[in-house]
Amino acid sequence: MSVTIYHNPRCSKSRETLNLLEQHGYQATVVEYLKQPLNAEELRELIQQLGLTSAHDLLRTKEAEYKLAGLSKSSEENAVINAMVTYPKLMERPVVSVNGKAAIGRPPESVLALFQAKS
């Protein structure tokens, strides 16, 4: 089973989600996406795994970079994805990906459904 967490160690929810995975015995590959930003293709794949209808749903709209990138709810998909490539801080966190499915760890317990579905 391949488990990946897109993690920001400064975020309490991200730390809680990583701890929760470890408590349940899951070894996750940790990707600190602020240090190793995702490219456009990886973001599109993650959005698909999350089952989101819009890349905008993966954005942290209260970050200063949201305004800096000139984004709005009506921004085109490519503009949103390019903004997340340029400003990785815009990506909601944490995101856990397991065998082609993903979940946002808000609350952290929501990622456990990824493992229950595989049981």
List active site positions.
11
Looking at residue 33, its pLDDT comes to 98
Span 89-105, average pLDDT: 97
The pLDDT tens digits of the residues spanning 37-91 come to 999 999 999 999 999 999 999 999 999 999 999 999 999 999 999 999 999 999 9
Looking at residue 118, its pLDDT comes to 47
pLDDT band at 116 (very low <50, low <70, confident <90, very high): confident
Fold of 1-33+93-119: Glutaredoxin (3.40.30)
Rounded to whole angstroms, the Cα distance separating 25 from 95 reads 18
Rounded to whole angstroms, the Cα distance separating 28 from 73 reads 33
The pLDDT tens digits of the residues spanning 18-46 come to 999 999 999 999 999 999 999 999 999 99
Residue 1 has pLDDT above 90, yes or no: no
Rounded to whole angstroms, the Cα distance separating 52 from 26 reads 25
User: Tokens 């909601």 belong to which residue?
Assistant: 92
pTM: 0.94
Looking at residue 86, its pLDDT comes to 98
Residue 119 has pLDDT above 80, yes or no: no
